[in-house]
A and B are shown apart, each in its own frame.
Chain A
Amino acid sequence: MRAQATVEAEPARDALSAEVRIAFAPDKTYLELVSGHEQIGVWRMLRRPLIVLVVIATAVPIMAVQRITLALFAFSTVSFGFVVLIQMVVGAAIIASAPARRASMPRALDLWFAGHVPYSFWLLLVAAAFAASPYASLDALIALAVVPAVWTAVVVAAFCRHVLGTSRGGARWRATAHFVVTWAIAFELLALSAGGWFQITRSVTRFFE
């Protein structure tokens, strides 16, 4: 109980969420957050993944039809739950690869998902752009995904160093593995749904034409 109270008290020290502090000061914030030796329950473990899912389920209908209703939100939650599940599996694999980690698996997963801010900001930005104008440049917004991709790699590296207790080299390869696996899955799903890999290569070619 005392440990849980320590965790609850942590974010209250700052007006901004721990997630935002991680995004802008990953080393310092992860060090702070991992210092408590707490046991967390299922709800605490699922809280941040659920926030990620809520952001996705809010952004998708706004992007697609510039409206949001309870039904659209509910459907998007179900449809895009797999994205969070994939990240959970990838996160669990990376956490399990570090035997010297400084947090329990549930707490490490909780802190893993605390690194979602770069992609959440990007998603909300894309949603805002399409809500403001249906003629927003899709190509430019997709190209902007490079920012959260690189930003997240920095956050993941900090997570590995401070939460998983890896060396700098270990953090680098894990961050790279996460980057590669995440984008490989994304492109594979995209290729599957678009009719084949030739669709992806054609789109990339068109982008640079």
Chain B
Amino acid sequence: MRSTRAASATLLLAGMAIGSAADRIPARSATRAGDYLVLSGDFHVHASPGDGALSPWMLRAEAARAALDVIAVTNHNQTFAGRLANRVGETGDGPLLIGGEEITNPQYHMIAVGIARTVRGGEVSAAAAIADVHAQGGVAIAAHPSHRFPAYNDDATVAMLDGVEAAHSDIYRDQAFRKELAAFFERAQRVNPDIAAIGSSDFHAMPPGIGRCRTYLFVRERTKAGVLDAIRRGRTLAVDGDGHLAGDPSLIQLLGNARPAGRVDTHPAWRRLSVAIAWLGALGLVVL
């Protein structure tokens, strides 16, 4: 091997070693509001294998870095990664992992959280999909509802939903979409006053990262059942990346200033240095 290539490989390894050494997950304390424990969740995350870049166990570590207590793995029209997430979630400490699916149909996208059997998104109506999700003990959330998804024009379908994404990472790419989400959430609340406000990242493989938009859940217990119960009863608030809240005003009042902590970058300088060194190493392997 050429010496310049060996040096590049060494640089790459050094970058990864520094990145590994600097990778610390901060400890967090629980946040309480009234009788409830307040959890931070992201219920729209894609994983590998499938349409995400990170495996469920890596997403779990990433969720911890992002100060999330719970995430749902929801790949498009498949539950394999979700079932894997359930298995991973049963081991060790860390954020709760709940398996699910993003049921994907030209007429609608729907997040199903807490299901194990795939709902064939291409083959069923939105109402039938919601019924299937409920039959499996899961909750159904309208994913990034907009004019592109006409199934949600039907009030009867909206009334069946457990939740609706009122904050979504795409609002930072498209101001019109931000307004559409707000308008849809208002309409959904009129149709179904207990509908849960959900904030999601829809993380696949590119920024903004997991938990950029998130959900505060007011739970009785820090378990999967507790989380699903909070969504079913609408005890949630959607939070966008700037901290704006959407949802039941009484919950916003109850929360007051007791907001759960957000993402903490423990060693930003080391993280950036490791990325720069590794990147230069990879470039060196190509160029030298």
| Chain A residues in the interface with B (C-beta under 8 A) | 11-12, 15-17, 19-20, 51, 54-55, 58-73, 75-76, 79, 116-117, 120-121, 124, 127-128, 130-131, 134-136, 138, 193-196, 198-199, 202
| Chain B residues in the interface with A (C-beta under 8 A) | 2, 5, 12, 15-17, 19-20, 23, 48-51, 53-55, 58, 62, 75-77, 102, 104-106, 121-122, 148, 172-173, 205-209, 271-272, 274-276, 278-279, 281-283, 285-288
Q: CA–CA, A71 to B62, complex, Å?
A: 12
A19-B286, A193-B50, A198-B106 known; A131 and B58 CB under 8 Å? no
Contact between chains at A64 and B54 (CB < 8 Å): yes
Contact between chains at B205 and A70 (CB < 8 Å): no
Given contacts A63-B53, A121-B286, A136-B207, list 11 more A-B pairs with CB under 8 A.
A55-B285, A60-B205, A64-B206, A64-B209, A67-B271, A72-B19, A135-B172, A193-B51, A194-B76, A194-B104, A195-B76
Contact between chains at A73 and B54 (CB < 8 Å): no
**In-complex Cβ contact of A54 among B12, B58, B208 (8 A):** B12
Contact between chains at A195 and B121 (CB < 8 Å): yes
Chain A, residue nearest B204 (CB): A64
Contact between chains at B2 and A75 (CB < 8 Å): no
Q: CA–CA, A70 to B51, complex, Å?
A: 22
**In the assembled complex, how far is the CB of residue B166 from the closest CB belonging to chain A, in whole angstroms?**
21
* B23: chain A residues within 8 A (beta carbon): 67, 69
Q: CA–CA, A51 to B285, complex, Å?
A: 7
Chain A, residue nearest B122 (CB): A196
**In the assembled complex, how far is the CB of residue B121 from the closest CB belonging to chain A, in whole angstroms?**
6
Q: Which 6 A-B pairs have the closest CB atoms?
A: A195-B104, A134-B207, A195-B76, A193-B51, A58-B282, A69-B20
Q: CA–CA, A70 to B17, complex, Å?
A: 7
Contact between chains at B287 and A16 (CB < 8 Å): yes
**In-complex Cβ contact of A63 among B51, B58, B205 (8 A):** B205
* B205: chain A residues within 8 A (beta carbon): 60, 63-64
**In-complex Cβ contact of B279 among A73, A76, A124 (8 A):** A124
Contact between chains at B278 and A66 (CB < 8 Å): no
* A73: chain B residues within 8 A (beta carbon): 16
Contact between chains at B286 and A68 (CB < 8 Å): no
Contact between chains at B51 and A58 (CB < 8 Å): no
Q: Which of A65, A70, A73, A199 has the most CB of B within 10 A?
A: A65
Q: CA–CA, A155 to B48, complex, Å?
A: 32
Q: CA–CA, A131 to B277, complex, Å?
A: 12
